[in-house]
Amino acid sequence: MERNILLAAQKLDTLLAQPSCRLGVFVPAGLHPQTAEQRHLDCLAQAGADMFEIGFPHTAPFLDGPVIQSAYRRALRHGHGLDHTVRAVEHAARLRPTVVMAYWDSVSRYSPEHVTGLFADAGAAGVMVVDLPAHMAARWHQAASSAGLVTPSLVPRRTPNSGLPAAVAGASGWLYAPASTALTGHQGAVDIPALADFTQRLRQAASVPIVSGVGISTPALAARIAPLVNAVIIGTPVVRALLTNPGQAPAVAASFAQALRPTFRGHRV
């Protein structure tokens, strides 16, 4: 089992070391019954997802906009919590390198040690806690390290230079640089020069890859951001399709994959 856990993290490292920007796709666990969810993950992988970010449903996802909030509410209404998230991770990790996105309250409810053990056994490469409290950081990183998981960190855009050392401390796998300061699902303009400056400051503060998401609402915008980061993660455009017309979700993902890699035609193994 330890060898498999290490392999998951190595696959993520290898992916993010590629010269071209990779595509990550966020999928909230529990939005659909297990069989349908697995089928959607299969199709998204074939459509161009290089990695998955599986969302652990939370009652108050305060960094997320209405689309992802709605997805989490639906999942929780159907009773889809930790167990369903583990099963989603198991399937996603068979397809692509997979990281779990979680809020601290969801983790602390079960204990960091229990949660990291479950996700490691499921094949996850890591878990990103987007609102990790500073006073719990040491325990969290110890639990994840013991389980063999990487611990990506989301660094708020407004973090000053003086705050970067603390913000990136303990981060592994990647640093998440939000493209927008708004909630997920933002469809307005993105300040590309400001994002470029932020990613440069992050690269000076830590040696891990940089990924970006939040507000990357179109393939054209993803293509503009691609030179700045190692991966672009899309969430709301795919989740919106999964909520309303799941059959359209692979086409959404494919449009972003083709923007990042114009020669990509989909249907990869």
Instruction: Considering the candidates 50, 53, 113, 121, report the single residue annotated as catalytic.
Output: 53
64 belongs to the catalytic site: yes
The catalytic residue among 13, 64, 83, 197 is 64
The Cα 235–Cα 27 span in angstroms is 7
φ, ψ of residue 171 to 5 degrees: the values are: -70, 140
Q: Which residues contact 235 (CB under 8 A, 6 or more apart)?
A: 25, 26, 53, 55, 68, 184, 185, 213, 214
Residue with tokens 């899309």: 234
Active site positions, annotated: 53, 64
